[in-house]
Structure 1
Amino acid sequence: MTLIFKIVASDEWQAAKSAGAFAGAAVDRADGYIHFSTAAQAPETAAKWFAGREDLTLVAVDAQALGSDLKWEPSRGGALFPHLYAALPTSAVLWSRPLPLGPDGRHDFGSLPG
């Protein structure tokens, strides 16, 4: 199983859980797909796009459960990032948890499988 990760505002994630699907954050909807990161990419994503935010949830998703709507496309420096061209069904989510800031001001991911 390949895990991919979504960093999302906690209130948006609560709404998605109630709805049964996540249609994406404003940036996702503007770009036409939901942005994800691998375990190796997630800390850089958090530092670049979510620096200092304490209201975040980290969502772990089974990439295979997303089928052909998930595309791996080049982004930063040519690295392949997972992009979902559909709403994220909560049935594909394996777990979610708060993403706190560590004492150094960076998000504390702990140990991510991936």
Structure 2
Amino acid sequence: MAAADPTGTELVYKIAPRALWEEARAAGVFVGAPVDVADGFIHFSTAAQVRETARRHFAGLDDLLLVAVDVRALGPALVFEPSRGGDLFPHLYGPLPLDAVRSVAPIPTSVDGAHDFAGLLPGAPA
């Protein structure tokens, strides 16, 4: 496994279907989507990676939420590991404690169906 936080990022992001996130809120913990459970860790993206993650894995889906999570609150269970193109992606080995969540926002879609992250990510236009 890679170092806990070689990127210096303060937040990581999870794209989640609203229904799945509401189930997590009711349970008081997020254990991940089916792909996360199958892989043994919860997949996250950095701000620089989240748009491509949405394009590759959530194309054509709506009613999605962008969950921003504090890296420091996750401790050593969050590791950055090589994935797509050798890029380091954050993976959480364990459940996501909801008190680590800093914000949850709907991800709108544009007219062409693409996800619109304007105003949702650091440095993104409002």
Q: Give unpaired runs (5+ residues) of structure 2.
A: 1-8
Q: Give unpaired runs (5+ residues) of structure 1.
A: none
Q: Which amino acid aligns with 1:72?
A: F
SS of the residue aligned with 2:45? coil
SS of the residue aligned with 2:99? helix
Q: Which amino acid aligns with 2:29?
A: A
Q: Residue in 2 aligned with 1:113? A: 122
Task: With the length of structure 1 as denominator, give the TM-score of the two structures.
Answer: 0.95
Distance 2:106 2:39 in 1: 25
Distance 1:19 1:113 in 2: 29
Corresponding residue to 1:2 among 7, 10, 13 = 10
1:68-79 equivalences in 2 (<5 Å):
68-79=76-87
Q: Which amino acid aligns with 1:103?
A: V
Runs of 4+ in 1 over 3 A off after TM superposition: none
Identity fraction in percent: 58
Q: Does 1:56 align with 2:46?
A: no
Corresponding residue to 2:53 among 45, 51, 55 = 45
Give yes or no for contact 1:6–1:60 (8 Å, CA) kept in 2.
yes
Task: With the length of structure 2 as denominator, give the TM-score of the two structures.
Answer: 0.87
Corresponding residue to 1:81 among 89, 96, 102 = 89
SS of the residue aligned with 1:72? strand
Q: Residue in 2 aligned with 1:34? A: 42
Give yes or no for contact 1:58–1:96 (8 Å, CA) kept in 2.
yes
Moved more, 91-100 or 103-112: 103-112
Q: Which amino acid aligns with 1:7?
A: I
How many aligned positions are there?
Answer: 114
Give yes or no for contact 1:52–1:101 (8 Å, CA) kept in 2.
no
Deviations 1:40-59 (A, max 9, x none): 10000000000010121110
Deviations 1:60-108 (A, max 9, x none): 0001100000010000110000000000011000010111211232101
Q: What's the C-alpha RMSD, in Å, of the aligned pairs? A: 1.2
**Structure of higher RCO (CA pairs closer than 8 Å, 6+ residues apart):** 1
